[in-house]
Structure 1
Amino acid sequence: MKFAALISGGKDSFFNVLHCLANDHELVCLANLHPPPSDSHEMDSFMYQTVGFDVVPYYAECTGKPLYRQVIKGSSNNQKLEYEQTQDDETEDLYELLKVVKEHHPDVEAISVGAILSSYQRTRVEDVCSRLGLTALAYLWQRDQEELMGEMVDSDMEARLIKVAAIGLNDSHLGKTLQEMYPVLKNLNRKFGVHVCGEGGEFESLVFDAPFFTKGKLQIVDKQIVRHTNDEIWYLKLKVQLVEKSSGGKCNVVQPPLLHDPFDQISLQPLIKKTESLSHTPHTKVWEQNRGKNYGRLRFNNITSTEPTLEGQVTHIFSQLERFLSESKLHPANIQSSSLLVSDMSNFAQINKIYQTFFTKPLPPARVCVETNLPKECFAQLSVEILDDLHFKKGLHVQGRSYWAPSNIGPYSQSIADTRTYLAHISGQIPLIPRDMTPCKDVTTQSVLALQHFEHVKEVIGSPTNIFICCFVTSPATVPLVTETYRQYIGLQRDRDHVKELVTVVVGALPRGVDVEWGGITVNEAVGDYEEAQIAFGKPLEYKEDRHYKIFAGPDLYREEFPESYEFVPVEQVFDSEAREQPYAVVELV
């Protein structure tokens, strides 16, 4: 894609440009937000590096690319982690800046942003990109800081510290290169927890040269050390000049491997076995709608419609859900998770178009979506879990491309958690290659990669322990593969008390034509007590009123002893943790 680079002058924004170039994107222009002229060298901004802002115009000369600048007029009026359009907020200055970029370069499709850990910064850039039809490219997102700084040190980028504000750092470190500071920062990290990349505001940097500086590089002409009102903070006021360089350097950044530790340790033999093709027998029974409530969560299960058309059915499903929410004095934003079953994945785009009109606020629900053998004339079935109080909602909705996990550009979050119980629903994770969002082709790698995505989401949301996990596959031949993947994964996670039971189900199709999808529920076990899911294969459980039940079963199941509140998931086949076929699985959840 053609992209504009959002730059501050700091190392992260420029190093991310190098990764954009390494991923075959084309740099078109630069963009920068800066303080008003009357302000001092830095201003209070939750979003932007402002120290050293007067050097930024030189980067247009260094790169030969046009630079677009916008004064920061707003302030941090909206300090919520998840951003919504807010008048006079500094995020709206970014919108105006990128709107100008789009007007001058209508072929720009993406924006480079150097966010590493800041969800505050990431969500705001993604919000602006979404409004302008742009893709955020954030290849530094969630990278290990020590590893990342090591890659910056080894690259042909020259960056120097121009501000310090942390224990162990003082004015003697100003002007030093990253190469000089790397061992110092690693030592301070081990002693005091100082962030090696400065993600805690410990320091700021300024780039003097980079491989894509083809027209020249910067050189210091004069410098002045300024002590902030707080004695622990110093920064440099610089005068620089452009000097010639022989040529642009090589874009020698290291792209992380697709599988990270410990997933690169999972060793799988060819476990695909030959099986007869499935008959895709549809269920003949429409499982009744039901409602339930426990522990501050409401459930509306098995919502279907008898309308004659696809559009009519999906619209009717959501009108029923809307009426239920209205009766409960709740809003679509209260929905924590959804299970969307479709009879034909080719209808997904049409269904999703209606689905997304229902979720217009930040942090849409986590979602699992699969094609399965619904009863004849039934195009879709929806089940949802709903929080009765939005104050306890926490989530993760990453929409930018990175090496971390697939972006969610649709109306669903990677995860939504209830902070009262610390239970987090993780959206179904499919094996897309995060850096370019293309499906992984090799089914063995698919099994491990999708589970790695599941793990990465858990880590960011702080909910590391599995209490229920389900793997959806499109063929029974894949079942031994995913079973062995989970077995080895459990073995490598000895410090986690993961649920050992795995439910694997065969469905008709998965999004993007992949063969494997992992989904489930996790918890932060360090915070308080929790209960793993109780799973029974081929036999009923002793049903309890304050529990929720998910029932996975094939088309031959017609049992009547299920509880009043249950979610029925019709599938083609069900397998247990030993890859043995079972007639059904009943999952009991708190």
Structure 2
Amino acid sequence: MKHLVPKTSKPNRPRKMKVVALVSGGKDSCFAMMRCIDYGHEIIALANLIPLDDSVDELDSYMYQTAGHQIIVSYAECMGLPLFRRRIHGSTREHSVNYRMTPGDEVEDMYALLHEVKRQIPSINAVSSGAIASDYQRMRVESVCSRLGLVSLAFLWKQDQITLFEEMIRRGIVAVTVKVAAIGLSPSEHLGRELKDLKSHLLKLNEKYGIHVCGEGGEYETLTLDCPLFHNARIVIDKYKGILDNPNSTIASVGVLHPLAFHLEQKNASSGHTPAVYEVEGNPTSTQVAGLHMLDSEFDSDETIKNVDFRISSTGRNLFSIGCWIRNSSKTSNGLEKDLAAVLREIELRLGAEGFGWVNVLYIHLYISDMKKFAHANEVYVKYITGTKCHFGVPSRSTIELPLVECGSGGAYVEVLVAREPERKKVLHVQSISCWAPSCIGPYSQATQYNGVLYMAGQLGLDPATMDLCAGGPIAELEQALQNSNAVAASFNASVLTSTFLFVIYCSARLTSSEKTQVQEQLRSSFDSSDGPTFLYVIASDLPKGASVEVKPVVYTPEIEEEDEELNMGKLRTQLEKISGKLQLDETCYQFRNINGKLLSAIVSITNTEASKICSQQDGSVFEFQCGSKKHMKTVATFCASFVAKILRENGFSWDDLVILRFYHPTRLLLSEDVMDCVFSEAFLDLAQVDENIKLGKEPLFNLLPVIGSGQSSSTDDLITCELLASKL
């Protein structure tokens, strides 16, 4: 099994941003500023929140560190930067991790503070914070940034704490403890001690009790007295007193350091300029979201969807999918934005008619006709899918360009995976730029977990810290995409390499045959072939950011491990029962994975050779895909439908367990989406006549996707590729 090793190289092309740094005085917020500078950004202002009463050292807050706040005013002079300060008027009123704007909450004080910073310094476009592990803090910073149109930078997020701790000391962070509150830490012995002096003791406590070395569990808090960013002066505490919170505790006494006197030691000759310290009072007159551009009402007009015929497909009963595209036989488009708006509106109406909403959606496949209009597509997308509508978390998403218009499907095609019980889903939506994994700045998540399955967003080979594609070509991008995927999976205590049962690889049409082969070899070498996932390769017209590859793992993440769990990867070795007669499909043309009778994934490849075999054995004809024969395709579609029935039945699944059934067809077939839809619909209608278990409603059981190519291998020369996912979870 190949292990994924995090890359540590510096970014090639950092996009310089002007940053206001949230500073508490602690080591983390200071080191986060240093990381910002490492990545080419510029700190131009500081922001700090302090208690209403100067005599109060520590607030009862999960959000803010205030111990040692009396000294933070000197940071302006130490760094030569303006400092904006605001007293905390609010309290914790919104207790959920997913913060929603709540009057009187302490988060609104942060909003007011940063709102004033942006008003006075309009060039600021990013906010730095020292979040390492707290989703509660990170998501509140992201919420405020989103409302103000700012980018959240959290370069310490999800970093290994021991490595981080050692790097802080090595790079010159001089910090002392201003609060201790953990077993093994004594106020009388450890309060006011320098971080480097406590290193060995903290490492021992980590081994013995599992405490967080960086204090992320509230074990201790620090105050930075000097660091490489303090160009002008360092801080010296002359006198302090220790305040015990629960001195009689038998587990851990809590002690806070209260500064009584301090002074600055100058490092350089004074420039005569004293940076300003601004006291931010009052509240902004408006809390309007500044970061999102809401579209004009043109997309809501009846003219947008006039004379457009929608075709919606759905599968399943409990967990199901809905696909929607615009049928346009003239092979033209109203424009990607209007087509996408019309499709999303139709899906919204369809969900509403069934008593659902966007809150029920777990995953969204966004297929567009022109990747050059990706930004415009996002503007339409955020009008319909928002955090407000998805209060259990926004769905995950993948986006690729497909030859939709050429096949008569308009400019946009959207497929959504819907759950009847949205409260059971768990969503990971990190919007901060960090070194952890690429951020999702917008209403889509890195991953959504539901009933033991993790549906991961499409991952590109992006350097998380810069959001740029890594250099080195397709293989380098693939390795980075795998690393990014594994970082996301680790948040759910899973591994992409050991727990993925379905793996989709989107390859750009720009890749040469040699490059596609290299991608396949690299990917196969990353997995254990004995129990690896089913692989599906899809050739897309283009990918976001001009990427070479995009990967989409579906990962098994059971909440409770079962003792006798079996992972069964193999080939169907029984004869396939057809509507009439029998046919044995070459076993290299299909693969499946059955996980303990609960999850089933399967990929079926119908090549030109197999299609010829199917047609000759069923009606004696010779299949020639160049002619675009509807008759021949109907024969192949009938075979595919009966084969799907066989896969489900042989593995103990029913049609009601079907979650996803997609058929990919290449444009070289010279058959429009209308024709393909017709022949597959007829095939399933025929199947329903002989299979009493299949229940056809107004819509078929499948979704059709026009592609450049698809298949189980990187050669992607299939005439039809079937992707199946069924679940009993």
Taking structure 1 as the reference length, the TM-score comes to: 0.87
Change in 2 beyond 3 A, CA 1:312/1:220: closer
1:150 aligned to 162, 166, 176, which one?
A: 166
In the alignment, is residue 40 of structure 1 matched against residue 108 of structure 2?
no
2:708 aligned to 555, 572, 590, which one?
A: 572
The worse-fitting range, judged by mean Cα deviation, of 219-228 and 508-517 is 219-228
Displacement of 1:240: 4.3
Separation (CA, whole Å) in 2 of partners of 1:572 and 1:67: 55
Separation (CA, whole Å) in 2 of partners of 1:309 and 1:580: 31
1:488 aligned to 486, 505, 525, which one?
A: 525
CA contact (8 A) 2:236 2:265 kept: no
Change in 2 beyond 3 A, CA 1:498/1:358: farther
Displacement of 1:358: 0.4
In the alignment, is residue 227 of structure 1 matched against residue 253 of structure 2?
no
Match of 1:479?
Answer: 516
Displacement of 1:287: 11
Displacement of 1:410: 2.8
Match of 2:467?
Answer: 437
1:393 aligned to 425, 432, 452, which one?
A: 425
Match of 1:293?
Answer: 316
Which whole-Å deviations, capped at 9, do the CAs of 1:284-312 have from their partners, x for residues lacking one? xx995322333x42321243354951243
In the alignment, is residue 28 of structure 1 matched against residue 44 of structure 2?
yes
Q: Could you tell me which amino acid in structure 2 is paired with residue 163 of structure 1?
A: K
Change in 2 beyond 3 A, CA 1:526/1:322: closer
CA contact (8 A) 2:709 2:716 kept: no
Match of 1:467?
Answer: 501
In the alignment, is residue 207 of structure 1 matched against residue 231 of structure 2?
no
In the alignment, is residue 347 of structure 1 matched against residue 366 of structure 2?
no
2:186 aligned to 165, 170, 175, which one?
A: 170
Match of 1:309?
Answer: 334
Q: Could you tell me which amino acid in structure 2 is paired with residue 220 of structure 1?
A: I
Match of 1:264?
Answer: none
The worse-fitting range, judged by mean Cα deviation, of 421-430 and 436-445 is 436-445
Separation (CA, whole Å) in 2 of partners of 1:578 and 1:133: 41
Separation (CA, whole Å) in 2 of partners of 1:511 and 1:580: 21
Taking structure 2 as the reference length, the TM-score comes to: 0.71
Separation (CA, whole Å) in 2 of partners of 1:122 and 1:179: 27
Separation (CA, whole Å) in 2 of partners of 1:500 and 1:360: 33
Displacement of 1:577: 4.8
Q: How does 1:247-266 map to 2 (within 5 A)?
A: none
Change in 2 beyond 3 A, CA 1:53/1:373: same
CA contact (8 A) 2:242 2:257 kept: yes
SS at match of 2:457: strand
Change in 2 beyond 3 A, CA 1:179/1:304: same
Match of 1:514?
Answer: 547
Match of 2:537?
Answer: 504
CA contact (8 A) 2:310 2:327 kept: no
- The alignment's C-alpha RMSD in Å is 2.3
Which whole-Å deviations, capped at 9, do the CAs of 1:126-176 have from their partners, x for residues lacking one? 111111111111110110111111101111110111211112111211122
Which whole-Å deviations, capped at 9, do the CAs of 1:84-118 have from their partners, x for residues lacking one? 21111111110000011111111111111000111
Which whole-Å deviations, capped at 9, do the CAs of 1:370-419 have from their partners, x for residues lacking one? 1112213621111101122231121111111111111111331111222x
Separation (CA, whole Å) in 1 of partners of 2:221 and 2:457: 36
Change in 2 beyond 3 A, CA 1:506/1:476: farther
Q: How does 1:120-135 map to 2 (within 5 A)?
A: 120-135=136-151
Match of 1:282?
Answer: none
Separation (CA, whole Å) in 1 of partners of 2:177 and 2:376: 52
SS at match of 1:213: coil
Unaligned runs of 5+ in 1: 249-285
CA contact (8 A) 2:324 2:343 kept: no
Which whole-Å deviations, capped at 9, do the CAs of 1:11-31 have from their partners, x for residues lacking one? 100000011111121111110
Q: How many residues align?
A: 546
Displacement of 1:360: 1.8
Match of 1:257?
Answer: none
Change in 2 beyond 3 A, CA 1:567/1:184: farther
CA contact (8 A) 2:456 2:553 kept: yes
CA contact (8 A) 2:507 2:550 kept: yes
Match of 1:335?
Answer: 361
Match of 1:535?
Answer: 603
The worse-fitting range, judged by mean Cα deviation, of 435-444 and 548-557 is 548-557
SS at match of 1:353: helix
CA contact (8 A) 1:335 1:385 kept: yes
SS at match of 1:517: strand
CA contact (8 A) 1:338 1:368 kept: yes
In the alignment, is residue 454 of structure 1 matched against residue 469 of structure 2?
no
Change in 2 beyond 3 A, CA 1:58/1:246: closer
Q: Could you tell me which amino acid in structure 1 is paired with residue 489 of structure 2?
A: K
CA contact (8 A) 1:223 1:239 kept: yes
Q: Could you tell me which amino acid in structure 2 is paired with residue 291 of structure 1?
A: S
The worse-fitting range, judged by mean Cα deviation, of 409-418 and 302-311 is 302-311
SS at match of 1:57: helix
Separation (CA, whole Å) in 2 of partners of 1:244 and 1:42: 27
- Aligned identity (percent) is 32
Separation (CA, whole Å) in 1 of partners of 2:130 and 2:311: 49
SS at match of 2:491: helix
Separation (CA, whole Å) in 2 of partners of 1:537 and 1:377: 23
Which whole-Å deviations, capped at 9, do the CAs of 1:470-519 have from their partners, x for residues lacking one? 0101135332222222223224xx9xx96432111111000011111011
CA contact (8 A) 1:194 1:202 kept: yes
In the alignment, is residue 246 of structure 1 matched against residue 267 of structure 2?
yes
SS at match of 2:527: helix
Separation (CA, whole Å) in 2 of partners of 1:523 and 1:80: 27
Change in 2 beyond 3 A, CA 1:29/1:38: closer
Match of 1:271?
Answer: none
Which whole-Å deviations, capped at 9, do the CAs of 1:530-555 have from their partners, x for residues lacking one? 52522223263325312122333323
In the alignment, is residue 365 of structure 1 matched against residue 395 of structure 2?
yes
Displacement of 1:578: 7.4
In the alignment, is residue 197 of structure 1 matched against residue 214 of structure 2?
yes
Change in 2 beyond 3 A, CA 1:149/1:247: farther
Separation (CA, whole Å) in 2 of partners of 1:247 and 1:472: 56
Change in 2 beyond 3 A, CA 1:293/1:470: same
Match of 1:407?
Answer: 439
Change in 2 beyond 3 A, CA 1:240/1:522: farther
SS at match of 2:101: coil
Match of 1:184?
Answer: 201
Change in 2 beyond 3 A, CA 1:165/1:125: same
Structure showing greater Rg: 2
Match of 1:263?
Answer: none
CA contact (8 A) 1:299 1:384 kept: yes
In the TM superposition, structure 1's runs of 4+ consecutive aligned residues that sit over 6 Å from their partners are: none
Which whole-Å deviations, capped at 9, do the CAs of 1:205-233 have from their partners, x for residues lacking one? 11000111112111121121221126321
Separation (CA, whole Å) in 1 of partners of 2:177 and 2:504: 48
CA contact (8 A) 2:505 2:538 kept: yes
